Structure formats: C-alpha cells, structure tokens
Amino acid sequence: LSTAQLVAIASNPGGKQALEAVRAPFREVRAAPYALSPEQVVAIASNHGGKQALEAVRALFRGLRAAPYGLSTAQVVAIASSNGGKQALEAVWALLPVLRATPYDLSTAQVVAIASHDGGKPALEAVWAKLPVLRGAPYALSTAQVVAIACISGQQALEAIEAHMPTLRQAPHS
C-alpha cells in the first residue's frame, strides 16, 4: 500500500484498528473468492468503522455474491465503504430479499444505492417500514422519490416526510 493509502486509513476514527485489520487479512481479501483490489480494501478501511466493515466483508461476501442476493463485488465494496459499512452490509443481508419482493418491489440497484450512503442501515430499515405507507394516501410518493430521499437524507428525512407532508400540503403552505 502507498503512503497516501495508509494515511487515508489511519486518518479516520478507529484508524489504528483499521490499519491492524488491513494488515492481518490483506492477502486473504486480495485472493479468491474476494479478489479485492488494494484500492477497494483502502476504500473499505478508510471509513469510520473500517475494521468492522472489513470483517463483515470477510463474513458476508460469499453469501451476498450468491443467490438469492447476487450482488457484484463492486456493490459489496460500495456498501462496505460507507461509514457504518458493517451495519449496512448486515442490513442488506437481512432486508434485500424482502425489499425486492411485493409490496416493495425495489431493484437490487436501489437497495444498494440506499445502503451505500452513511446511515445505510437505518435508511434501509426506514424504507422497509415506511415505503408502503408513503406510496399511499395522503403522501402518494413514488418509489423513486422514497429511494431518492433515503439515499440522500436517510431515515430522519423519511420520518419527517411522514410526519409533516400532509400538513405542509395544506394552506398556508400550499
């Protein structure tokens, strides 16, 4: 790893643990079945909770790549590379099959997009809890709108939409 890559890993909360986590399994995650590039390992390790995210990749990678999940390596890395990557990977493990089914009908790409942002786990859980409600009256949001909110602003924004949208659509706000 380059000096810049090592500095990127070390300059985050938990940097010491992340450096230790990279050192121990580096060769393992570079080899099959993971075959991660050095850049991918650094992307995972250089976030808050990088050590835990690397451990989660090692634990969940094969399962997330296989049916019924079918994620690509790039998708697993994208999820693991956010702050809270471990929790986001675990949420994808728990919720992806549910969120792809009726009544949610999300695509894998939509679930990955939500999970790949900081706060991915609570955002996915909020989509699971609120999507059917937010698509109905009085909200009438599209799935794409709910996913966009979850990707950018996460759980708190979905809760705020649910709490305030009906009132804000009435006079004097309309």
Which tens digits make up the pLDDT trace of 108-129?
999 999 999 989 999 999 999 9
What is residue 71's predicted lDDT score, i.e. its pLDDT? Answer: 98
pLDDT at position 91 is 98
Residue 90 has pLDDT above 90, yes or no: yes
**Given a cut of 80, is residue 174 above it in pLDDT?**
no
Confidence of residue 168 (pLDDT cuts 50, 70, 90): confident
pLDDT at 114: 97
Q: What is the pLDDT of residues 28-80, one digit of tens each?
A: 888 899 999 989 998 988 887 888 899 999 999 999 999 999 999 999 999 99
Residue 95 pLDDT > 90, yes or no?
yes
* DSSP codes, 31-72: STTT---HHHHHHHHTSTTHHHHHHHHHHHHHHHHSTTT---
Cα–Cα distance, 86 to 144 (Å, whole number): 25
- DSSP E strands in 53-157: the ranges are none
Residue 13 clears pLDDT 80, i.e. is over it: no
Other CB atoms within a 10 A radius of the CB of residue 21 amount to: 23
| Confidence (pTM) | 0.88
The radius of gyration of the chain's CA atoms, rounded to the nearest angstrom, is: 18
Q: What are phi and psi of 145, to 5 degrees?
A: -65, -45
Q: Between 150 and 23, name the one with better pLDDT.
A: 150
